[in-house]
Amino acid sequence: MGKFQLWAQPWWVNLLVLVPVIAYVVWRRNGPALVWRRLALLAAFALAFGFVEAAVVVYLRAALGLLPGYMGTIAQLRYSSIGYEQVRALGQFPRGLLSVETIREAATIVILLSVTLLSASTGKERWACFLWTFALWDIAYYMGLWAVVGWPASFLDLDILFLIPVPWVAQVWFPLFVSTLAMAAVALVKRGETQ
């Protein structure tokens, strides 16, 4: 288990903590018009999509031989990430597949944006839906990885959050913290729709 690191790299990734805080401050008097039913449907999508993303990452790592101890059986998969270091694995990725991974990440954002644009009609509601969906997708991604391969073993494990435009590196607690803040911001300021 690693030592606690407060800061993500590059430095500007740390500014993500401000996004849900600013959203909350801006919306606290007149929040987005959302009902729990819509948020629940977005949550169902985000949770399912988060697991799909985790499965893709597991398949890719297994196919490349980057899951230590995995020899091809389901029983071994759960314990295959013992000794796995996400940041070190980036250096072992073939260059061509690193491009595929980057495009997959961009496609993920396009999918999340598309769903949120289709689910709300105003900018404020769309932004709230995006924060909500992204946060739940991110949490489901880590839960999916943990359920399937046992990684992350700790909230202090280092992860590569995104590759665009450069690798974003932080301990797992950081994206989970930002996602929790985003969910809280939306839940605390949402008001029922007036239909």
pLDDT tens sequence across 139-163: 999 999 998 888 898 999 999 999 9
- Taking residues 76-99, report their average pLDDT: 65
- Taking residues 46-68, report their average pLDDT: 86
Domain ranges of the chain: 34-189
Residue 78 confidence (pLDDT) above 90 = no
Please report, for residues 14, 84, 108, 130, 193, the alpha-carbon distance to residue 118 in angstroms, rounded to integers and kept in the order given. Answer: 29, 38, 16, 11, 16
Rg (CA), the chain: 18
For 96-141, what is each residue's pLDDT tens digit? 788 888 999 999 999 999 999 999 999 999 999 999 999 999 999 9
Residue 20 confidence (pLDDT) above 90 = yes
- Taking residues 71-90, report their average pLDDT: 59
**CB burial string 126-146: b at 16+ within 10 A, e below:** bbbbbbbbbbbbbbbbbebbb
| Backbone torsions φ then ψ of 171, nearest 5 degrees | -70, 155
Cis amide bond preceding 10, omega within 30: yes
Is residue 169 within 8 A of residue 14, CB to CB? The reply is: no
Six-digit token string for 2: 């690693």
- Taking residues 70-96, report their average pLDDT: 62
pLDDT band at 66 (very low <50, low <70, confident <90, very high): confident
Task: Name the helix (H) or strand (E) containing 168.
Answer: strand 168-171
Please report, for residues 102, 109, 153, 185, the alpha-carbon distance to residue 113 in angstroms, rounded to integers and kept in the order given. Answer: 17, 6, 30, 18
Give residue for tokens 């407060």: 6
β 168-171/158-162 pair status = antiparallel
Type of residue at 176: L
- Taking residues 7-13, report their average pLDDT: 95
Cα angle 159-160-164, degrees, rounded to a multiple of 5? 160
* 138/178 Cα distance (integer angstroms): 10
If one compares 74 and 51, the residue with the highest pLDDT of the two is 51
Side-chain half-sphere CA neighbours of 27 within 13 A: 25
For the chain, the average pLDDT equals 87
pLDDT score for 148: 86
- Taking residues 67-79, report their average pLDDT: 61
- Taking residues 170-174, report their average pLDDT: 97
pLDDT score for 89: 63
Residue 168 confidence (pLDDT) above 60 = yes
Give residue for tokens 């690693």: 2
For 34-53, what is each residue's pLDDT tens digit? 999 999 999 999 999 999 99
Residue 25 confidence (pLDDT) above 60 = yes
pLDDT score for 125: 95
Sign of CA dihedral 76, 68, 104, 178: positive
